[in-house]
């Protein structure tokens, strides 16, 4: 506990011990020194304040006599748990009372509104069925630790670096994306971010002006909705077809009045629509590219689940379907490695790489170099591909088990919206009058995660249900969870 900020004035007629006692009393009453907390030793306090130890002891003895401090033999001096009520009330009366808070910016007000409308709670974020959480039990921890030790004492990773990202990671990531997703990029086009959410924030900052229109899937990813809304964009939801984004409806769409041009950006999850699971066919991807070029609209392609397709190869990314495309490609290591790594990336056209790098610099500065260096070696040495192969097989088994359990225990209660990809399963309620937010809360009280399907809609909810992540579950947890869900619905 640092009390060096206490100012004692030797020119005042009041004794130093009295000044110290009053300063400590005020800190206790204002809970800057919380009840039960321990004070520094008198010797240390005397050194910090440059006064004699006798002066400190006199002040402490005065506060002990007044009921603010107590001594514990062999332990030290502590703030009393219960303080004098009279002085507490007097202190409250003498404190200034703020009548009006100074205003925030329009951006700040937008964030306040988003926070007030959010359904976020303080529940455990790592419960079984939590969305986006991989199976960390199956992670190759020994290999990861070996790579960490390899780089932990490298002085070059302890200083400042390029905000665009660690070059060896960008280089090996470009090679991986070109071979696995059909991209045509090099290291200069990649910006390393602190997770997918920062990637979305940077895209909003670089591509949107306040009042511009952002097209989003309905239902769709909440993180994109929040990033674009906080940038002052008009959100326009796009309906889904059986395979994801409804391209035919998109080409005939009319936006609300007031937009300067049809749209600035379109956000989509074509490889595995989130949360409904559709996979956009190659023909529709090409049609979307043609539309974007005609409309002069940027596509933000979130390729978050491309690694986990179970019965067929994923279709090539939209970003690589032509030599030059109006596509900002984004991905993350949160699901393929671990959320705690806080590592994502953007692939942008070469002429925008500098702008995105500057936005990253202004937004947060550099992404931690040690993590980047470890991931670079993890990918370069083949550990990443081997890990994905194992996880793909493991998650396929879990996905099939989830479908079997849903059919066995939830028949007549919920309908699985199943696609052979991804790490989650959407379940639609047959009883449309059931409140899925309340159901989600009741499910959480039983020790299980997930999210209400209705929260993924921007406008009027069309379906209610739950979205359950299964990657982080054991067979026992899946059985117990689906049985618990069935019991809540019967």
User: Which one of 3.40.1280.10, 1.10.10.10, 1.20.1050.10, 3.20.20.70 gives the CATH number of domain 16-94?
Assistant: 1.10.10.10
Q: Which residues contact 253 (CB under 8 A, 6 or more apart)?
A: 238
CA 223, CA 297: separation in Å to the nearest integer?
Answer: 20
Helix (H, G, I), strand (E, B) or coil at 489: helix
Question: Given this model, what pLDDT does residue 384 score?
Answer: 96
Element (H, E) at 149: helix 141-151
Which contacts of 156-164 are long-range, i.e. CB under 8 A and separated by 24 or more positions?
157/369, 157/370, 157/373, 158/369, 160/366, 161/366, 161/369, 162/357, 162/366, 163/357, 163/358, 163/360, 163/361, 163/365, 163/366, 164/190, 164/191, 164/192, 164/353, 164/356, 164/357, 164/360
CB 436 within 8 A of CB 429: yes
Per the listing, tokens 């229109």 go with 213
Domain 151-382 classified CATH 3.40.50.150? Answer: no
Phi and psi angles of residue 330, each rounded to the nearest 5 degrees, phi first:
-135, 150
Average pLDDT, integer, range 248-273: 79
- State the Cα–Cα distance between residues 357 and 56, nearest whole angstrom: 54
- Name the CATH topology of 386-489: 3.90.1150
3-state class (DSSP) for residue 305: coil
Q: Phi/psi of residue 399, each to 5°? A: -65, -45
The answer, yes or no, to whether residue 278 has pLDDT greater than 60, is: yes
pLDDT recorded at residue 122: 46
Cα–Cα distance between 139 and 78 in angstroms, integer? 45
- How far out from the chain centre does Cα 460 lie? 25
Output the pLDDT for position 104. 86
Return the SS3 of 18. helix
Q: What angle do CA 460, 463, 467 make, to 5 degrees?
A: 120
Q: How far is CA 155 from CA 25, 158, 426, in A?
A: 47, 5, 47
Residue 185: is its pLDDT beyond 70? Answer: yes
**130 pLDDT above the threshold of 70:** yes
Q: Which residue has the tokens 């665009």?
A: 164
Are the beta carbons of 292 and 299 closer than 8 angstroms? yes
Checking if the pLDDT of 472 tops 50, the result is yes
CA atoms within 13 A on the CB side of 357: 19
Whole-model pTM over 0.75: yes
Q: Sheet with 213-218: list strands edge to edge.
A: 190-193, 344-347, 327-332, 298-302, 265-268, 213-218, 234-241, 244-245
Taking CA atoms, 278 is separated from 105, 196, 361, 400, 422, in Å, by: 39, 20, 35, 17, 10
The contacts of residue 401 (CB under 8 Å, 6+ apart) are 470, 475, 478
Q: pLDDT for 438-467, tens place per residue?
A: 999 999 999 999 999 999 998 887 899 999
The separation between the first and the last C-alpha atoms of the chain, rounded to the nearest angstrom, is 55
110 by Cβ neighbours in 10 Å (0-12 / 13-18 / 19+) ranks as: middle
Span 88-105, average pLDDT: 68
Contact 267, 201 (CB under 8 A): no
Q: Is the dihedral of CA 176, 179, 181, 183 positive or negative?
A: positive
Binning pLDDT at 50, 70 and 90, where does residue 107 land? confident
**Sheet arrangement for strand 451-452:** 414-417, 424-429, 465-469, 451-452
Residue 120 has pLDDT above 80, yes or no: no
One-character DSSP codes across 46-107: HHHHTS-HHHHHHHHHHHHHHTSEEEETTTEEEE-SS--HHHHHHHHHHS----SPPP--HH
Q: How far apart (Å, rounded) are the C-alpha atoms in residues 470 and 450? A: 9
pLDDT of residue 123: 47
Q: How many C-beta atoms surround the C-beta of residue 115 within 10 A?
A: 10
**Beta-carbon count within 10 A of 18 CB:** 16
**Domain positions in the chain:** 16-94, 151-382, 386-489
> In this prediction, what percent of the chain has a pLDDT beyond 70?
92
Please answer whether residues 488 and 441 qualify as being in contact, where contact means their C-beta atoms are separated by less than 8 angstroms: no
Question: Which residues on neighbouring strands pair with residue 268, listed in sequence order?
Answer: 301
| Predicted pLDDT at 138 | 94
Which of 315, 307, 350 has the alpha carbon at shortest distance from 185? 350
In this structure, the dihedral spanned by the alpha carbons of residues 319, 321, 323 and 325, taken in order and rounded to 10 degrees, is -40
Average pLDDT over residues 354-383: 93
Question: Per-residue pLDDT tens for 202-223?
Answer: 999 999 999 999 999 999 999 9
Q: Are 272 and 421 in contact (CB under 8 A)?
A: yes
Total Cβ atoms within 10 A of residue 14: 10
User: How does pLDDT run across 287-335, given as a tens digit for each residue?
Assistant: 999 999 999 999 999 998 888 888 778 889 999 999 899 999 999 999 9
Strands 234-241 and 344-347: unpaired
Mean pLDDT score of the chain, rounded to an integer? Answer: 89
């Amino acid at each position: 506990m640092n009390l060096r900020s206490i100012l004692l004035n030797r020119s005042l007629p009041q004794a130093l011990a009295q000044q110290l006692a009053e300063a400590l009393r005020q800190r206790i009453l204002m809970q800057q020194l919380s009840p039960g907390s321990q004070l520094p030793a008198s010797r240390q306090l005397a050194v910090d304040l440059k006064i004699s130890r006798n002066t400190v002891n006199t002040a402490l003895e005065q506060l002990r006599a007044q009921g603010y401090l107590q001594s514990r033999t062999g332990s030290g001096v502590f703030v009393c748990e219960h303080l004098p009520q009279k002085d507490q009330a007097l202190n409250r009366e003498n404190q200034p009372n703020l009548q009006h808070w100074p205003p925030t910016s329009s951006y700040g007000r937008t964030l306040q509104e988003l926070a007030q409308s959010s359904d976020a709670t303080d529940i455990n974020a790592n419960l079984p069925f939590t969305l986006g959480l991989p199976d960390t039990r199956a992670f190759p921890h020994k290999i990861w630790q070996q790579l960490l030790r390899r780089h932990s004492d490298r002085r070059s990773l302890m200083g400042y670096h390029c905000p665009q990202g660690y070059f060896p990671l960008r280089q090996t990531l470009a090679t991986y994306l070109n071979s696995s997703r059909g991209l045509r990029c090099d290291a200069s086009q990649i910006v390393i971010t602190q997770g997918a959410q920062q990637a979305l924030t940077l895209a909003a900052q670089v591509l949107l002006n306040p009042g511009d229109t952002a097209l989003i899937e309905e239902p769709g990813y909440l993180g994109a909705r929040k990033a674009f809304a906080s940038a002052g964009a008009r959100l326009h939801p796009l309906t889904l077809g059986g395979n994801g984004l409804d391209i035919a409806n998109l080409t005939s769409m009319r936006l609300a009045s007031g937009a300067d041009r049809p749209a600035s950006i379109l956000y989509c999850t074509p490889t595995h629509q989130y949360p409904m699971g559709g996979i956009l066919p190659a023909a529709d991807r090409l049609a979307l590219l043609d539309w974007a070029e005609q409309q002069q609209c940027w596509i933000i392609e979130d390729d978050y689940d491309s690694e986990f397709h179970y019965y067929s190869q994923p279709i090539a990314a939209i970003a690589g379907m032509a030599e030059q495309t109006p596509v900002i490609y984004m991905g993350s290591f949160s699901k393929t490695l671990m959320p705690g790594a806080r590592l994502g990336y953007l692939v942008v056209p070469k002429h925008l790489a500098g702008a995105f790098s500057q936005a990253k610099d202004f937004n947060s500065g550099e992404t931690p170099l040690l993590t980047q260096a470890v991931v670079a070696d993890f990918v370069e040495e083949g550990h990443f591909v081997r890990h994905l192969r194992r996880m793909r097989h493991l998650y396929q088994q879990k996905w099939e088990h989830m479908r079997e359990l849903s059919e066995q225990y939830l028949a007549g209660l919920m309908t699985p919206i199943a696609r052979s990809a991804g790490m989650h399963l959407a379940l639609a309620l047959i009883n449309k009058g059931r409140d899925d937010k309340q159901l989600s809360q009741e499910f959480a009280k039983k020790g299980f995660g997930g999210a209400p399907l209705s929260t993924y809609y921007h406008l009027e909810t069309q379906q209610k249900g739950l979205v359950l992540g299964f990657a982080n579950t054991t067979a026992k947890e899946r059985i117990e969870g689906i049985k618990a869900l069935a019991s809540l619905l019967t």
